[in-house]
Chains A and B, each alone.
Chain A
Amino acid sequence: MRQKYQAGRRRQATKLEYIVLTILALITMLPIVYMVSTAFKPLEEMFLYPPRFFVRHPTLRNFAELLIAMDALSVPFARYLFNSLFVTVATVVLGVILSSMAAYPLAKYPRMPGNKLFFSLVVSTLMFAPEVTQIPRYLIVDRLGLIDTYAALILPVIAGSYGLFLMKQFMEQIPVELIEAAKIDGAGEWQVFWRVVMPLVRPAWITLVIFSFIGTWNDFFTPLIFTRSEQMKTLPLVMSSIGGGPGQVARWGAVAAASLVITMPTLILFVLLQRYVMETMAHSGIKA
């Protein structure tokens, strides 16, 4: 055992570790496989006994049914897609930049007055059940005259407590010397932030991009209460109305297809971005 231990050699996993983790991963994936498989099941196969996990005669009928259901809507599908994409991208970009900017002083200037108070305020708001704050929030958005605008879907979600919390935690690890050194070289705070701090916490903000994208993309409550007109609705909202609510057997297949369609973008984004979380830091020698 003793000779086998090698410090920091991350890729020295044993065969046993591979086997155990692979089994665990497969078990975890089972329900997902079931979801994908159901999306391709013909109606006869959905209520079989004995229950069948995998699809026997895969069909695209569910997707066709989804298209037909989409076609019957009064607003073209592209509009919903645009709404979802626009709202999600705007929320993610603004949210990540603003939270990071606010997190920087909190993490690196602990002696700044108001700093600690502000941070505990941020963490405390995380703990207040969002169900109850929705109504006051609705009243505020209404008072500001933002109902049924893109601003109503974007602005209230940007300043999320937990984005700031996440960024602050990662920024704390940046050695002060690096920031000092950049300042001695003549960089202003703005430059330090963009050229030193943000590159160093790349795993953190990429992770935040992933969370924020998934959260906003799947969010169906915000558009439900802040939009009125059909033109402002987003994909999850429309998709949820297709099946006529959960448990509606008639469109069971279309719902299964819809859940697959709506999940795909988030999975693709995750696969594309997670690579950067895993590979950047291992190579940078800047860490003190």
Chain B
Amino acid sequence: MKGLNRRWQAIRYAWHEYHTMYLFMLPFTLLFVVFVVAPVLTAAYLSFTYFNVLEPPRWIGLSNYRLLFVEDDIFYQHALKNTFIFAIITGPLGYVISFTLAWFINRLRFRQLYTLAFYTPSIISAIAMSVIWLYFFANDRYGLLNYLLMEIGLITEPVAWLREQSTILPVIMIVSLWMSMGTGFLVFLAGLQDVPLELYEAGMVDGIRNALQEVFYITLPVMRPQLLFGAVMAIVNSFAVFGIAAQIAGLPSPLYAGHTIVAHLYDYGFIRFEMGYAAAIAVVLFLLTFVLGRVAMRIFSER
């Protein structure tokens, strides 16, 4: 009774102190709860059920998870492995390249032109993109890459880039990197505008000697909020890789060489209509990115 009373008082105090702010948040929160939180919670619930979309979901406890961890070899040997290889390489690489390019471009004249050049690939719709890449990496001699390599004499026979188990994943990585100068890149560019010029001057007085020191002692610390945003987006996007992989290598890809966690999820959810199992995969993916996201937040939070 006493605890309840105290809580009630805390709420009244919070409302008294911050009610304008709660009102600021209200419209967003309403839509967010209805269209984002509720679907996510429903999906989490579905992961404990058998749900084929047509019949109502049937509760089966942890069966989906047991299946996923104990029996689903394709998930282990291909989906999980490919996603990890992809994420560990393209995630950090794309992140560092985005920042480096943004930093260089910020110092150039005609910055807009350069920004446009690097940013455009990430705008193009997936269907238009696949047309382009299927031409570049085509398996026969009509493909641009095969043609060029044969002209130079590096290869004599066309390489089946999109059918060979060893080349599918690298091709997916290259295309993803090419398209990765998107969100993070633009946010870094905007963030670089926010670094006050006076700080640079003060830094020089304090003995900063070169551009590298300037980046590490001034630019990066000031840009911490943007860096965190970029890092979280990089983690989320690289673990959710699917669209490009499916466009390039097909679904399922030859010998599962381009199979990823979300490809697996899509396969079960939208091809076999086992939504419950697909939801379980989503929960596992969520836990994975969540832990990494926490680590990123720890690294970038202010001390």
Contacts and interface: CB of A to CB of B under 8 A. Distances in A.
Interface in B123-139: 123-125, 127-133, 135-136
B173 to A, nearest CB: 16
B5 to A, nearest CB: 17
A140 to B, nearest CB: 6
Contact of A263 (B24, B123, B199): B123
A189 B27 contact: no
B117 interface: yes
Contacts of B113: 25
B117 A29 contact: yes
A134 B270 CA distance: 11
Main secondary structure of the interface of A (DSSP, over half): helix
B120 A211 contact: no
8 contacts: A2-B210, A8-B201, A31-B121, A102-B28, A104-B24, A113-B18, A137-B39, A280-B193
B104 to A, nearest CB: 6
A207 B186 contact: yes
A278 B189 contact: yes
B246 to A, nearest CB: 11
B124 to A, nearest CB: 6
Contacts of A177: none
B interface, by DSSP: helix, strand, loop or mixed?
A: helix
B240 to A, nearest CB: 6
Contact of A11 (B109, B133, B222): B109
A287 to B, nearest CB: 4
A288 B186 CA distance: 23
Interface string B131-170: 1110110000111100100000000000000000000000
A272 B52 CA distance: 47
Contact of A287 (B116, B127, B135, B194): B194
A278 B225 contact: no
A208 to B, nearest CB: 9
B254 interface: no
A136 B43 contact: yes
Given A104-B24, A270-B119, A126 B232 contact: yes
B225 A172 contact: yes
Interface stretch (B64-72, B73-81, B275-283): B275-283
Given A31-B178, A170-B194, A17 B229 contact: no
Contacts of A170: 190-191, 194, 225-226
Contacts of B203: 7
Nearest to B33: A159
